[in-house]
Amino acid sequence: MTLTKHNIKIAHTASFSSLVNDYVNRDEKLKEFISDFPSEISIQKAMEEKQFSLEKRIVLVDVLKSQYAHLNVSELVQQNIESLLQENTFSICTAHQPSIFTGYLYFIYKIIHAIKLSNECKALFPANSFVPIFFIGSEDNDLEEIGAFNLLGKKYQWQTNQQGSCGEMDTADLVPIIDEIKKYLNTGIEDEKELLAIFQNAYKANQNLADATRYIVNELMGRFGIVCIDGNEPRLKSLYKDVLKDELLHQQSFKIVSKTIDKLSVNYHGQAKPRELNLFHKKYNSYRERIELKEGIYEVVNSDLKFTAQEMLVELENHPEHFSPNVILRPMYQETILPNIAFIGGGGELAYWMQLKDLFAHYDVQFPVLFLRNSLLFIDEKSSAQIDKLGLTLDQLFIPTNELNNLLLAKNNVIHQLEAFEKNIELQLNEMVQLATTVSMPLEESVKAHRQKNLNIVNRIHEKFAAHIKRKEVDTYSKIAFIKENLFPNNSLQERHDNIISLYKMYGKNLFDILLENEEGFGEEFIVMK
């Protein structure tokens, strides 16, 4: 199947928030909440301002080498890891939770976007190196989201009793889902056989979900140079101890971010609300619970653990890995441990990052250039043929089904003829009213009343025509329903519902080459592949 790329304005999809629409339109209202809008100039400025010591680079590379020690890595991944020791190397980062079986399609799209933007930056600035980084959000514990995906009309949910950070969870109880996936994959086709083997090796051979996720990403896209990092590591946490300590003692994040949210809320809805203390206490594959400060004592929610201030600082010094930042402090942690200049995220991610600009400034951490991740829609051959037959434009695909039905109804020749009659009738009735005004006012009022009665009759006739045409055109409307459900399952964007397996069955491993060729590092339009 030959695919052609089509670009659609984000606003035309009616699928994004007002903040996202304003961001891609470079609205000045957002300037104070970002470093700058994405551009060659803003990337150049970010490189010039980035401060990232050799000491941090050494720690970062050592951690990456240890995390990749048991993987077969491409030469490009090896080069990218080593290059992070050089002061002219910067990272382009995206992040996501370690979703099982890669979760939803945008998991893949944002990683490819990071790779594409890194390649484009290298072309723009050949004296520098750019490493695409996938930050595994392994400390999250939203199992309902991380442990779910949809495949060919069925939702799969990870059934496990494990607690704590999802990235630390053992993957052995994912094996039953692999057995289900086997039903969809044709192992007589080499690419599908290989994909099944990747999932089997990931969830049977690795100890935890974070390692499994790194394995999957490396196997699927490692040849493009993507480097995965798990921030859940004591050596990396040590680089963030000053902020963690200040949060414990002074809780500055709540005050600062709350003020920013107040400013943003003048025009937009808030995305992530800060707590008075934005840290969790955790133990490996055991628990991850909020820390609350009550009358000078630090309490770990849902446990008997309590610390004095001195005890808590000793705990931080000896075990920084026991402390986990929440959504408010995690972005700044990411930027502390990486030589990062750009972050790629979805609309929701950009919204909560914009709440953090003043927090970054308070701790003198550079705020990256924010990029809206690429969004894509793949149209299969059957849907494509029906779209062409119905004469639909790609923009019209994003219109709700009822509105689309009415739109096609309005294009019906019979309706056009009927509307011509209606206009003529209304014109004649108006002329009769005008004629009545030359006789008397009572006659004018009487004719006006008769005109309205006749117009009401005309409207009812129109509705009857429309109803009969709809019944006659039931096949057309069923085709529209098929197209909408196929491309927008459950009335959501394909990328927010489907899993990579559905596209992999159509395009095989070549899917990732198709994505890399067609995604756009600096692009800010919706991409349709048809």
User: In sequence order, what DSSP letters do the residues of 433-465 get, joined into one string?
Assistant: HHHHHTT-HHHHHHHHHHHHHHHHHHHHHHHHH
Kindly state whether residues 123 and 249 are assigned to the same domain: no
* Distance from C-alpha of 196 to C-alpha of 201, rounded to nearest angstrom: 9
Q: Would you give the distance in Å from CA 192 to the centre of its chain? A: 26
Kindly state whether residues 208 and 79 are assigned to the same domain: yes
Q: Which amino acid is at 175?
A: V
The residue behind tokens 């039931």 is 474
Kindly state whether residues 517 and 371 are assigned to the same domain: yes
Q: What phi and psi values does residue 379 have, to the nearest 5 degrees?
A: -110, 120
Kindly state whether residues 212 and 346 are assigned to the same domain: yes
| C-alpha distances in Å from residue 448, one per residue of 62, 437, 438 | 86, 10, 14
**CA nearest to 256, candidates 355, 373, 152, 150:** 355
Q: Report if residue 186 sits inside a domain.
A: yes
Q: Report if residue 500 sits inside a domain.
A: yes
165 class by beta-carbon count within 10 Å (0-12 exposed, 13-18 middle, 19+ buried): buried
Phi-psi region of 290 (alpha: psi -120 to 50; beta: other; left: phi over 0): beta
Q: Report if residue 281 sits inside a domain.
A: yes
What integer pLDDT is reported at residue 181 of this predicted model? 93
CATH number, residue 335: 3.40.50
Q: Report if residue 27 sits inside a domain.
A: no
Q: Is the CB of residue 19 less than 8 Å from the CB of residue 268?
A: yes
What integer pLDDT is reported at residue 23 of this predicted model? 98
Kindly state whether residues 371 and 410 are assigned to the same domain: no
The residue behind tokens 């630090």 is 298
229: which 2 tokens?
Answer: 């990092």
Kindly state whether residues 129 and 184 are assigned to the same domain: yes
Q: What phi and psi values does residue 114 have, to the nearest 5 degrees?
A: -65, -40
Q: Which of 284, 310, 325 is the last residue of a domain?
A: 325
Kindly state whether residues 313 and 394 are assigned to the same domain: no
* Distance from C-alpha of 198 to C-alpha of 186, rounded to nearest angstrom: 14
Q: Report if residue 2 sits inside a domain.
A: no
Kindly state whether residues 411 and 501 are assigned to the same domain: no
**CA nearest to 34, candidates 371, 361, 354:** 354
**CA nearest to 228, candidates 136, 165, 138:** 136
Q: Is the CB of residue 463 less than 8 Å from the CB of residue 409?
A: no
Kindly state whether residues 247 and 300 are assigned to the same domain: yes
* Distance from C-alpha of 21 to C-alpha of 372, rounded to nearest angstrom: 10
**CA nearest to 152, candidates 380, 368, 456, 457:** 380
User: In sequence order, what DSSP letters do the residues of 15-84 get, joined into one string?
Assistant: -S-HHHHHHHTT-GGGGGGSS--SSHHHHHHHHHH----HHHHHHHHHHHHHHTTTS---HHHHHHHHHT
Start-to-end Cα distance in the chain: 9
Q: Report if residue 99 sits inside a domain.
A: yes
* Distance from C-alpha of 291 to C-alpha of 298, rounded to nearest angstrom: 6
pTM, two decimals, is 0.90
What integer pLDDT is reported at residue 421 of this predicted model? 80
Furthest CA-CA distance within the chain: 100
H-run or E-run covering 503: helix 500-507
Q: Which amino acid is at 116?
A: K
Phi-psi region of 166 (alpha: psi -120 to 50; beta: other; left: phi over 0): alpha
Nearby residues of 378 by Cβ (< 8 Å), 6 or more positions away: 3, 494, 503, 506, 529
Q: Report if residue 470 sits inside a domain.
A: yes
Structural domain of 280: 241-255+269-325
**CA nearest to 56, candidates 333, 343, 358:** 333
**CA nearest to 259, candidates 248, 249, 270:** 270
Kindly state whether residues 173 and 61 are assigned to the same domain: yes
Q: Which segments in the chain show pLDDT lower than 50? A: none
* Distance from C-alpha of 520 to C-alpha of 119, rounded to nearest angstrom: 10
Nearby residues of 394 by Cβ (< 8 Å), 6 or more positions away: 6, 8, 387, 528, 530
Kindly state whether residues 64 and 138 are assigned to the same domain: yes
DSSP state for residue 392 in the 8-state scheme:
-
Q: What phi and psi values does residue 487 have, to the nearest 5 degrees?
A: -95, -25
Nearby residues of 22 by Cβ (< 8 Å), 6 or more positions away: 29, 30, 267
CA dihedral 237, 240, 242, 243 (to 10 degrees): -120
What integer pLDDT is reported at residue 152 of this predicted model? 86
SS3 372: strand
Q: Report if residue 17 sits inside a domain.
A: no
326: which 2 tokens?
Answer: 């929440």
| C-alpha distances in Å from residue 291, one per residue of 121, 141, 238, 370, 440 | 41, 15, 19, 30, 84
Kindly state whether residues 514 and 481 are assigned to the same domain: no
SS3 52: coil
| C-alpha distances in Å from residue 68, one per residue of 63, 195, 202, 222, 320 | 9, 20, 14, 12, 22
* Distance from C-alpha of 257 to C-alpha of 352, rounded to nearest angstrom: 10
Number of domains in the chain: 3
